[in-house]
């Protein structure tokens, strides 16, 4: 959401337009879905990522591209303001753990959520389709599509493990999209394509460990249950101060509607039963 807010202003360095854009996007998201609970997970894949152990090149160029961007300092400053508001102003949960990507945390939230809780994941990331395929109470909303992502006919994890490509993850040698599509049509075709060649099978298994968000070596952090059942708090005075400091006149004129929106989320979240969000088996394990 923060990066999406950056896109229209990639060369404007004299105003906090990313912050303004973020607030507009965030407001629309809350208006559209009227959530009871809002959770914002963040990447920390620079930490001890098991994916880097499997594929050292994994996302290696992403940080370099960001650091080379001449607009990066302005973006960082505005991002810090947004992150501070998420942590101290808005009635939302923020999650970040060393070595965990946001995708991992999203998958874990979906795993520990009760089956009767409807979850909307706001993201353009196709890798999250696998969660939607396996969990009928989860849907992925793409702000780019302005619609929910459709489920492909094939198993997403298997297909992505074959073709690789993004995040510097190599696909299985000699397998392109057409070969992968043919392999997906039947178990026989898949075995014929992969299992008869040990090196290909090894590459496939390595990629699957990287791609599969619901079945990997990461464990659910011990304190995640505790964090997601704490009460949240909205700080209207801090929000008004930020709006005034940045001269966001449009928001200032509509400040009461923002207060109403955030207080409503706070109320809905805090009146919920403590255990409503979590599956019993996960809660008992924690």
Average of per-residue pLDDT across 153-163: 89
Give the pLDDT of residue 48.
57
More confident residue, 237 or 226: 237
> Do 261 and 31 touch, CB atoms closer than 8 A?
yes
Give the pLDDT of residue 286.
41
- Cβ atoms within 10 Å of 149's Cβ, excluding its own: 19
Give the pLDDT of residue 251.
96
pLDDT tens by residue, 44-68: 866 557 776 776 566 655 655 556 6
pTM of the model: 0.86
User: If pLDDT is split at 50, 70 and 90, which confidence band does 19 have?
Assistant: very high
> Based on the number of CB atoms within 10 Å of its own CB, is 164 exposed (0-12), middle (13-18) or buried (19 or more)?
buried
Cα–Cα distances in angstroms (integers) from residue 62 to residues 46, 92, 100, 254, in the given order: 11, 28, 16, 38
User: If pLDDT is split at 50, 70 and 90, which confidence band does 192 have?
Assistant: confident
Structure tokens at 73: 């300092």
User: If pLDDT is split at 50, 70 and 90, which confidence band does 281 have?
Assistant: very low
Give the pLDDT of residue 185.
80
Give the pLDDT of residue 27.
97
Q: What is the DSSP letter of 246?
A: T
d(CA 143, CA 29): 9
- For the chain, the average pLDDT equals 85
Which has the minimum average pLDDT: 48-57, 101-110, 175-184, 236-245?
48-57
d(CA 255, CA 14): 24
Instruction: Tell me which H or E stretch contains 93.
Output: strand 93-95
Give the pLDDT of residue 69.
65
pLDDT tens by residue, 199-219: 888 888 888 888 899 998 889
> Based on the number of CB atoms within 10 Å of its own CB, is 114 exposed (0-12), middle (13-18) or buried (19 or more)?
middle
d(CA 100, CA 133): 22
More confident residue, 286 or 121: 121
Residue with tokens 């968000």: 213
Give 149's Cβ-side CA count (13 Å radius).
Answer: 25
pLDDT tens by residue, 99-148: 898 999 999 999 988 888 899 999 999 999 999 999 999 999 999 999 99
pLDDT(244) > 90? yes
User: If pLDDT is split at 50, 70 and 90, which confidence band does 284 have?
Assistant: very low
């Amino acid at each position: 959401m923060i990066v999406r807010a950056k896109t229209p202003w990639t060369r404007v360095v004299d105003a906090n337009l990313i912050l303004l854009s973020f607030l507009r996007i965030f407001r629309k998201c809350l208006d559209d879905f009227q959530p009871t609970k809002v959770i914002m997970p963040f990447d920390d894949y620079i930490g001890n990522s098991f994916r880097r152990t499997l594929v050292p090149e994994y996302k290696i160029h992403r940080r370099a591209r960001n650091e080379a961007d001449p607009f990066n300092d302005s973006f960082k400053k505005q991002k810090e303001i947004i992150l501070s508001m998420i942590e101290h102003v808005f009635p939302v949960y923020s999650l970040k753990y060393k070595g965990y990507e946001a995708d991992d945390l999203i998958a874990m939230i979906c795993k520990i959520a009760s089956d009767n809780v409807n979850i909307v994941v706001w993201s353009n990331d196709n890798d999250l389709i696998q969660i939607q395929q396996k969990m009928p109470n989860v849907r992925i909303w793409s702000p780019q599509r302005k619609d929910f992502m459709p489920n492909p006919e094939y198993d997403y994890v298997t297909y992505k493990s074959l073709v690789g490509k993004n995040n510097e993850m190599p696909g299985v040698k000699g397998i392109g999209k057409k070969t992968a599509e043919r392999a997906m049509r039947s178990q026989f075709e898949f075995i014929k394509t992969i299992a008869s060649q040990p090196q290909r099978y090894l590459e496939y298994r390595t990629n699957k460990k990287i791609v599969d968000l619901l079945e990997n070596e990461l464990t659910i952090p011990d304190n995640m249950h505790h964090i997601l059942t704490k009460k949240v708090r909205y700080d209207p005075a801090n929000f008004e101060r930020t709006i005034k400091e940045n001269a966001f006149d449009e928001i200032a004129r509509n400040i009461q509607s923002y207060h109403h929106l955030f207080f409503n989320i706070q109320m809905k979240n805090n009146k919920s039963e403590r255990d409503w969000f979590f599956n019993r088996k996960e809660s008992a394990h924690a």
